[in-house]
Structure 1
């Protein structure tokens, strides 16, 4: 009897493929891969499946390996109604236990290595053992830490590790919201950045000077010889230069483009000596402050052979960093429209011309044009 090994192998492959599909379906692990122009050309996609009313569920599974220890979580399902119906008081206490920075420091320091209290004090530079043990007591009482014996080393119990990882995973998708909260607070405290206001509102030219200041820094560094200021009919303004262009590479800590961090992290330039300081203001105005106090902002970057663009609304990205063309030029163009609830009137070309004349005198090698 002759056997068709090729046909048998094909049938076996088909069976294995069907088995893999069923396993993935049971675990809720359908994943789509797409070209996204990122460093590894992959983009996470949220798979939304239809359902009636408020029905829905979260599926999760996974494992974590540290040295010889492996923590494995079998596939689980939790209904959305069950999650949304958690005891809110108790849920808040759990988040509060992990939400304290020093407690989170302790958990992450103990993740891969058991340590004594003295070792933790030294590593975290906490100053006093009393301060440390206050947090250790809270974490051990919550069953998030265990001590080997009295005076011994602390470690994270195995049965809690996956839940902590799952919570940190969710936090990684929410971590940029801390920047957006800071930007919202900046609008409430605009006086600290803009100084005194008139009855109509703050002077919107302060934002323009702050954006121009970035181009001046590029000129002082030897990379920018031209700055263009363009006033638009809709009340917005554009500042364009031929500097190096804001960096676009992805930051390993956040997975975000550098330009997004620059435009959303309020403290990145606000306290630096090079930031623009408005008369009577307590804090300097960096480009992130301009973004926070604008109704809309878009940035276009020319560098590394490409043209990149990103849009913002009230400081929050409305798009990822998009590649929109190719060029051998370099530079940055920032277009922003001040928030009308904060600022009075429109840009005054005569005032801008006067400021440009001062800058031309201070920077004779810099060409400044206004349109």
Structure 2
């Protein structure tokens, strides 16, 4: 966006502000099937990142009525240049069907080991604690006191993004 376009956009926002109407920050959202891609192309074009990037975002309400909003934005360079070996453990923790069942149950409201033991196919209490420790070690879980487990607020949407990205 050149200087004249920015000035025009600023004047429009000022007019809306003075009239008491709300306005949307940033350039207008492109319409169509890939509106988010169009928006990102515009956003990354304004930066010194010629290779673009990715944005993950979500606004969710869990079955427990807890609400979370989260977003993360990375340039292509940030991701490509990162040490991927550190990511392997985090992804590997999600590679177990039992751990995924436990995470689903926790996000659904079962928060204690006793409640989790009622979930079909998760094993003995010793096996459950083993899986919970593995998930906690890489940040997918934390203890919330009194033997309660939770997905940390900053990881709820990230977990859903990871699961959604694995869908075919």
Common topology (TM > 0.5): yes
Matched, 1:94 2:90: yes
CA displacement at 1:56 relative to structure 2: 0.8
Match of 1:134 in 2: 130
Structure richer in helix, relative to its length: 2
Structure with the largest fraction of strand: 1
> Could you say what secondary structure the match of 1:124 adopts?
coil
Structure 2 CA distance for partners of 1:77 and 1:119, relative to 1, 3 Å? closer
1:122 matched to 2:118? yes
2:67 counterpart residue number:
70
Output the CA distance in 2 between the equivalents of 1:84 and 1:90: 13
**1:171 paired to 2:166:** yes
CA 1:149–1:19: 2 relative to 1, 3 Å? closer
Question: 1-side partners of 2:55 and 2:121: how far apart?
Answer: 40
Shift of 1:54: 5.7
Contact preservation (8 Å) 2:54, 2:73: yes
CA-CA distance at 1:108 after TM superposition: 1.3
1-structure distance, mates of 2:87, 2:31: 30
How far residue 69 of structure 1 moved from its aligned partner, in angstroms, is 2.5
**C-alpha deviations, 1:207-235, integer Å up to 9, x for none?**
xxxxxxxxxxxxxxxxxxxxxxxxxxxxx
Runs of 5+ unmatched residues, structure 1 = 1-10, 25-29, 34-43, 176-371
Q: Secondary structure at the match of 1:123?
A: coil
Structure showing greater radius of gyration is 1
Correspondence 1:271-350 to 2 at 5 A: none
Which residue of structure 1 aligns with residue 12 of structure 2?
Answer: none
CA distance in 2, matches of 1:140, 1:53: 34
- Residue of structure 2 in register with 1:108 after alignment: 104
TM-score (norm 2): 0.67
The answer on whether the counterparts of 1:110 and 1:155 sit within 8 Å (CA) in structure 2 is yes
Deviations 1:266-302 (A, max 9, x none): xxxxxxxxxxxxxxxxxxxxxxxxxxxxxxxxxxxxx
Stretches of structure 2 lacking an aligned partner (at least 5 in a row): 1-14
Q: Aligned partners of 1:53, 1:163: CA distance in 2, in Å?
A: 24
Q: Is the 8 A contact 1:56 1:80 kept in 2?
A: yes
Q: How many aligned residue pairs are there?
A: 144
